[in-house]
Amino acid sequence: SQQGEEDPQALSIQEGENATMNCSYKTSINNLQWYRQNSGRGLVHLILIRSNEREKHSGRLRVTLDTSKKSSSLLITASRAADTASYFCATDGWEGQGAQKLVFGQGTRLTINP
Amino acid sequence: EAQVTQNPRYLITVTGKKLTVTCSQNMNHEYMSWYRQDPGLGLRQIYYSMNVEVTDKGDVPEGYKVSRKEKRNFPLILESPSPNQTSLYFCASSFLNEKLFFGSGTQLSVL
């Protein structure tokens, strides 16, 4: 399985600081996605970055992808209390019969302290 | 409104009593998938479907069944639930190689 692994497992910072989370994976991918989950709720998509892209921005979010190192990072700038959530990376690739599988890591629990 | 609808939100049952968790999407997505989420284990894929009548096993398919008779629906069936299937379940859908839309989740407790 080409599961993504997030690092750190938990992160606690002060409001206004930047938060960086990392994701590593094992095999070649088509794209890598980041999701956010508020406690017990469904995941919400944040950013999708394709294997031929190196960096992508969306508001206060910045995602980088290094396919040579099989790693990605999610940066949240100027954090807010409302950013408190769990963040997951998900990778997909093609199985032998051309079937798509999206595999999630275990997530980083981010806490923003006021 | 584009959404993935899962029902029920909460379910308590007893060992061996068959149950179905429904999932429906209104976005004409080809791809649908079921995940379970357990503390410390993240999200693990149970089954997925690339299109109508096309389903395949994920990483933890044992004890579960699915069907995809219509494009919009992808029910998850537990023929004989056991306590180790107590978990938070999510249905999700997408166009191929695009972002997933998740349902609100079903918290299942098997006593």
Percent helix / strand / coil, chain B, rounded to 5 = 5, 50, 45
The pLDDT of residue A88 is above 80: yes
B46, B102 Cβ separation under 8 angstroms: no
pLDDT tens profile B58-85: 989 999 999 999 999 999 999 999 999 9
Q: A64: distance to nearest CA of chain B, Å? A: 17
Unique residue bearing structure tokens 């166009």: B95
* Per-residue confidence in pLDDT tens, chain B, 111 aa: 889 999 999 999 999 999 999 999 999 999 999 999 998 888 999 999 999 999 999 989 999 999 999 999 999 999 999 999 999 999 999 998 788 999 999 999 999
The pLDDT of residue A16 is above 50: yes
The pLDDT of residue A93 is 65
The pLDDT of residue B70 is 96
Q: Is B39 on the interface with A (CB under 8 A)?
A: no
Q: Is A25 on the interface with B (CB under 8 A)?
A: no
Distance CA B111, CA B105 (A): 19
Bridge partner residues of B102 (DSSP): B92
Q: Do B97 and A44 touch (CB under 8 A)?
A: no
The pLDDT of residue A1 is 46
Q: With b meaning 16 or more CB within 10 Å and e meaning fewer, what string describes A48-74? A: bbeeeeeeeeeeebbbbbeeeebbbbb
Burial of B73 (0-12, 13-18, 19+ CB in 10 A): middle
Q: What region, left, alpha or beta, does residue B97 occupy, with left being phi > 0 and alpha being psi -120 to 50 degrees?
A: left
Across the interface, of B41, B88, B97, the residue whose CB is closest to A31 is B97
Mean pLDDT of chain B: 94
Q: B70: distance to nearest CA of chain A, Å? A: 19
Band the pLDDT of A100: cuts 50, 70, 90.
low
Band the pLDDT of A64: cuts 50, 70, 90.
very high
Dihedrals phi, psi of A92, to nearest 5 degrees: -135, 155
Question: For residue A80, which amino acid is it?
Answer: R
